[in-house]
Structure 1
Amino acid sequence: MEENSHDNNSRPARRADGYDTVGSIETNVADGFTMVAVGDLIVARPLMEGQHPGFDAVAEILRKGDATFGNMETLIFDIRSFKGSPQAEHGGAYHISLPEVGPDLKAMGFNIMGRANNHTLDWGLEGMRETGRILHESGIIHAGAGESLAEAGAARFLETARGRVALVSFTTSFTPMSRACAPAGEAPGRPGLYALRLTESIIVPPMMLENLRQVRNTLPNPGPHHKDLNRVGLARLTFKAGDKAGYSYEPHAGDVADILRNVRRGKQFSDFCIVTNHCHEPGNWSQEPADYEQSFARKMIDAGADAYIGHGPHQLRGIEIYKGRPILYSLGNFFYDDLRTPVGADMFALYGKDPRTDTDAEVTVDEETKGYPTADGFVGALAAPIFYESVISVSRFEQNRLAELRLYPIELGFAMRFANRGIPRLVNGPQGKAILERLQKLSEPFGTHIAIENGVGIISFGPSLER
């Protein structure tokens, strides 16, 4: 990695009295500042010393970033000395990693990570705290979880040679008991993750809405009627009339205001602010972001974020460039090395397995191939090639503008045996082209053009460095 240098001449001019305005939201990094970003890190073991074909080339890209980001979607601790337990609520599985994973991620090049996601409290507060301790001791900045709402939501800062980087991490996908809260009077605050609550509505044709209203009105004690005639509440679900069936989301106004404040504060104390959102909505099946997210992401940029990084659905979603800043709606999986053990008794029961005769791996394979059990069967399976294909994004800034965004296609070994899959390698040829062409198509609705040159996706800008 070449030596970084922080050229103050590349920064915006100061006011005549020598003081910058507190409210400035301009990017303020030295030329050549590079942000490397990937999606979900589901990794159970250290990888740097293993024999993993192609991974060295991946790590080389990670190490070139001034800020190299990933979403930490596992818990790190030693089960032999662990004092906690698997929780009755979990994020779909009990993710667990060996303690050596922390320093190993640092050796790969990761230096800043989001912590807020649906697995943050799989192993309770003890798992959350031990993971934070190991990341801290490994020299990796992390945000999104803490001993109170204020601590979980606070921006955390990475010092680099080209500028100070802030990170604000939150999630819309979380188990109810994992959400941090503030104190109220004599009641203390609650440890947990930084959450953005969403109110979900199901969109149905107007005629169907009227049928639902009739069903509702036949129920005993149906509850209060909506004043909005285009909305019906039924069995704790809300239905709205619309032209196209689907799902709609409304962010919690108080959560949005709190996040905006933390983004503004993060930018005031840094040169570059990253905002990251773990969002599965409307579901892992969807290649499009939820309907609230574009306007919400733009609000984050308007408040001072220099990049918005999404992850959660385990597959790629589109890219938007807004006011010269990247909005990456989902970067999919980066690691899917799902050798988790132990998985907890609840997981065995969930998939009809017996811990006396079945193995942790057999539970995991059922979870990924069948998905989540429901009354009608299984939904949400993740064992498909699309969940094992993604990109590494590399954003380079010049004159405090995004000059180029490069997208390196990766594949995580879908066809390999269970013990070897989930580790990324760069791909080119037909598979790499197909990944980039899919991302091209997903980004078109946002007005983003991705060129493909020598097997790499490129979003470039003219001499003015403006979009």
Structure 2
Amino acid sequence: MTNRQQTTTLFLCGDVMTGRGIDQVQANPCSPELYEPWVKNARDYVALAEIHSGPVQQPVSNRYIWGDALDELDGRQPDLRFINLETSITTSQTPWPGKGIHYRMHPDNIGCLEAARPDGCSLANNHVLDWDLDGLDSTLEALTGAGIIPVGAGKNETEAARPGVFSLTGGQRILVFACCLESSGVPENWAATSSHGGVYRLPDLSGRSVDSLANRIRAARKPGDLVMLSIHWGGNWGYRIEPEQQLFAHSLIEKAGVDLIHGHSSHHPRGIEVYQGKLILYGCGDFLNDYEGIGGDEDYRGDLTLMYFPVVSRQTGKLQSLSMVAMQLGRLQLHHAEEQDRQWLATTLSRVGQDLGTHCTVDGGGDLVLGWK
């Protein structure tokens, strides 16, 4: 058996936000009308990006927004590509009432997602219902039609809590569960129920929630399956990991048999932990957005994004290695980050990972590489 057959390589990233300004530069944009307190036209976000980084030749190709990330994906050939999609794919004209920001992408622009060939995506987040239940239905239909498995949302609670099932060579599977919490801005009435659609929203990080997830995992898991939990939690800025978050993550590994935790919501990468040999990404940071030119919180370097390539054992689910590729957003497109920016990210991840027992270095090829105790 070759090493590739003994391990599984994944591609993970944080929030992919293909609505609003990014939708506007595609070939078939939605109406640019917004219902935000300060910005009323999505084209204003395109203008800010162009002022900040330079002109964007429009309409862009389906591949454009991914930029250098596509070569990385083609070269590394991960066994599973999984993202957190924070955009409703719809032409709905009914924004969720009382919500300050509404992301949507026209269904005819689905090609910009297909270009990166994600196998699946989490919809358990605070933007998938921006355009109400009609928008969710349209999103589920568009993704399914494109061959992208949506996880964490559905037309009822059973569908929303159901894992995505992804096959590996040799008949092995990865089960991916996706959930979200109020701490990431998900309203209580977004939770799917037996009678209406929505997201898989946990009420809290209590032992009861651990037990509920553990029961769902036991019901779906077959011998040899790997299990990943994709979770949208916490605020947008800051490196502090709340004690209840860490306890919850540890409990999922100990009691529910989760092999990898894919956390997101923060606008920048947060600390990384390896607990009992299993990888915990507390916050992957944004990956694609239209925030160029928006001031505030510059110290966190939200313009820098990471592609995560964990390699895990197929037999035990334990982390074998984690390489990360640093990207920078410019002109609504991903580009390889400069050496000084890669070093800044490595230094920052080492600093915030000190109490978690992890550190980060830059190897000779420019990858950020995780080390752990």
- Provide TM-score, normalisation by structure 1: 0.64
Indicate yes or no: 2:168 matched with 1:168.
no
Structure 2's unaligned 5+ residue stretches are 27-59
In 1, the alpha carbon distance for the partners of 2:112 and 2:138 equals 16
- Following TM superposition, by how much is the alpha carbon of 1:443 offset from its aligned partner in structure 2, in angstroms? 1.4
- Following TM superposition, by how much is the alpha carbon of 1:430 offset from its aligned partner in structure 2, in angstroms? 0.8
Secondary structure of residue in 2 paired with 1:268? coil
Answer whether contact 2:237 2:267 (CA < 8 A) is retained: no
Q: Structure 1 104/284 Cα, relative in aligned 2: closer, same or farther at 3 Å?
A: closer
In the alignment, what sits opposite 1:430?
340
Alignment identity in percent?
A: 24
Answer whether contact 1:155 1:265 (CA < 8 A) is retained: no
Aligned length: 325
Answer whether contact 1:43 1:338 (CA < 8 A) is retained: no
Amino acid at match of 2:278: R
Q: Structure 1 270/333 Cα, relative in aligned 2: closer, same or farther at 3 Å?
A: farther
Q: What is the CA deviation profile of residues 60-102 of structure 1, one whole-angstrom value per residue up to 9, with x for unaligned ones? A: 323421111110100012x2xx4x5111143x41001122443
Indicate yes or no: 2:301 matched with 1:386.
yes
Indicate yes or no: 2:15 matched with 1:40.
yes
Q: What is the CA deviation profile of residues 235-255 of structure 1, one whole-angstrom value per residue up to 9, with x for unaligned ones? A: xxxxxxxxxxxxxxxx25543
Equivalent residue in structure 1 for 2:323, among 403, 406, 409: 406
In the alignment, what sits opposite 1:291?
243
Map 1:162-311 → 2, pairs under 5 A: 163-172=172-181, 173=184, 174-182=186-194, 189-198=195-204, 251-268=205-222, 271-279=225-233, 281=234, 283-302=235-254, 303-311=256-264
Q: Structure 1 35/126 Cα, relative in aligned 2: closer, same or farther at 3 Å?
A: same
In 2, the alpha carbon distance for the partners of 1:36 and 1:309 equals 11
- Provide TM-score, normalisation by structure 2: 0.79
In the alignment, what sits opposite 2:355?
445
Map 1:24-35 → 2, pairs under 5 A: 30-35=5-10
In 1, the alpha carbon distance for the partners of 2:175 and 2:61 equals 27
Amino acid at match of 2:16: L
Q: Structure 1 50/405 Cα, relative in aligned 2: closer, same or farther at 3 Å?
A: closer
In the alignment, what sits opposite 2:265?
312
In the alignment, what sits opposite 1:243?
none
Structure 1's unaligned 5+ residue stretches are 1-6, 11-28, 183-188, 199-250, 340-364, 370-380, 414-419, 462-466
Amino acid at match of 2:197: P
Question: What RMSD in Å do the two structures reach over aligned CA positions?
Answer: 2.6
Indicate yes or no: 2:68 matched with 1:57.
yes
Answer whether contact 1:42 1:73 (CA < 8 A) is retained: yes
- Following TM superposition, by how much is the alpha carbon of 1:32 offset from its aligned partner in structure 2, in angstroms? 3.8
Secondary structure of residue in 2 paired with 1:69? strand
Amino acid at match of 2:358: T
- Following TM superposition, by how much is the alpha carbon of 1:391 offset from its aligned partner in structure 2, in angstroms? 1.3
Answer whether contact 2:264 2:284 (CA < 8 A) is retained: yes
Q: What is the CA deviation profile of residues 8-60 of structure 1, one whole-angstrom value per residue up to 9, with x for unaligned ones? A: x98xxxxxxxxxxxxxxxxxx932421111000011335654656xx443113
In 2, the alpha carbon distance for the partners of 1:169 and 1:296 equals 15
Secondary structure of residue in 1 paired with 2:214? helix
- Computing the radius of gyration from Cα coordinates, the structure with the larger value is 1
In 1, the alpha carbon distance for the partners of 2:143 and 2:253 equals 28
